[in-house]
A and B are shown apart, each in its own frame.
Chain A
Amino acid sequence: MVERLQASWKLLVVLVPYIWLLIFFLAPFFMVLKISLAELRIASPPFTPMFGTDEAGATIIRLLFDNFRYLWEDSLYLNTYLNSLKISTSSTILCLLIGYPIAYAIVRSTPTVRNILLLLIILPFWTSFLLRVYAWMGLLADQGTINDLLIWLGIVDSPVRMLYTEFAVYVGIVYTYLPFMILPLYANMEKLDISLLEAASDLGARPVTTFLTVVLPLTVPGIVAGSLLVFIPATGEYVIPDLLGGGNVLMIGRVLYNEFNANTDWPVASAVAIVLLLLLVLPMMLYQHFQSKAAG
Chain B
Amino acid sequence: MTTESHHTLSHQPWLDPEEKPFIRIQGVTKQFGAFVAVDSVDLDIYKGELFALLGGSGCGKTTLLRMIAGFESPTSGRIVIDGEDMQDVPPYERPVNMMFQSYALFPHMTVEQNVAYGLKRDGVAREEIRTRVDAMLEMVELAAFRKRKPHQLSGGQKQRVALARSLVKNPKVLLLDEPLGALDKRLREQTQYELMNIQDQLGVTFIVVTHDQEEAMTLSTRIAVMDHGWFQQIGTPTEIYEFPESRFVADFIGSANMFEGRVAGHDGDVASIDVEGLPEPLKAEHTASLREGMQVWLAVRPEKMRIATEPFDDSSLNSIRGSVEDIGYYGDSSTYRIRVNPGMRLEITHPNLRRPRDGRHVADWDETVYIGWVPEAGVVLTR
Contacts and interface: CB of A to CB of B under 8 A. Distances in A.
B13 interface: no
A91 to B, nearest CB: 28
Contact of B117 (A203, A206, A217): A203
Nearest to A217: B108
Interface stretch (B99-107, B211-219, B224-232): B99-107
A204 B121 contact: yes
B24 interface: no
Contact of B98 (A202, A214, A217, A218): A202
Contacts of A76: none
B71 interface: yes
Contact of A193 (B104, B118, B165): B104
A200 interface: yes
A158 interface: no
A206 B118 CA distance: 11
A203 B121 contact: yes
Contact of B118 (A195, A203, A217): A203
A113 interface: no
Nearest to A213: B117
Interface string B275-316: 000000000000000000000000000000000000000000
B182 to A, nearest CB: 14
A209 interface: yes
B91 A201 contact: yes
Given A198-B71, A199-B100, A204 B169 contact: yes
Interface in A73-128: none
Interface in B87-116: 90-93, 96-98, 100, 102, 104-108
Given A202-B91, A203-B117, A195 B106 contact: no
B106 A199 contact: yes
B69 interface: yes
A110 B106 CA distance: 25
A205 interface: yes
Nearest to B117: A203
B367 to A, nearest CB: 54
B104 A204 contact: no
A277 interface: no
A196 B107 CA distance: 9
Nearest to B98: A202
Given A195-B100, A195-B102, A204 B107 contact: no
A205 B165 CA distance: 14
Interface string A261-286: 00000000000000000000000000
Contacts of B69: 198, 202
Interface in A193-237: 193, 195-196, 198-206, 209, 213-214, 217-218
B122 A198 contact: no
Nearest to A210: B92
Interface string A42-55: 00000000000000
A203 B100 contact: no
B102 A203 contact: no
A205 B70 CA distance: 13
Interface of B: 69-71, 90-93, 96-98, 100, 102, 104-108, 117-118, 121-122, 165-166, 169
Given A202-B69, A202-B96, A204-B93, 10 more contacts: A196-B107, A199-B104, A201-B71, A202-B70, A202-B71, A203-B121, A203-B169, A204-B121, A204-B122, A218-B108
17 contacts: A193-B102, A196-B104, A196-B107, A199-B100, A199-B105, A200-B117, A201-B70, A202-B71, A202-B91, A202-B97, A202-B166, A203-B117, A203-B118, A204-B92, A205-B92, A209-B121, A218-B107
Interface of A: 193, 195-196, 198-206, 209, 213-214, 217-218
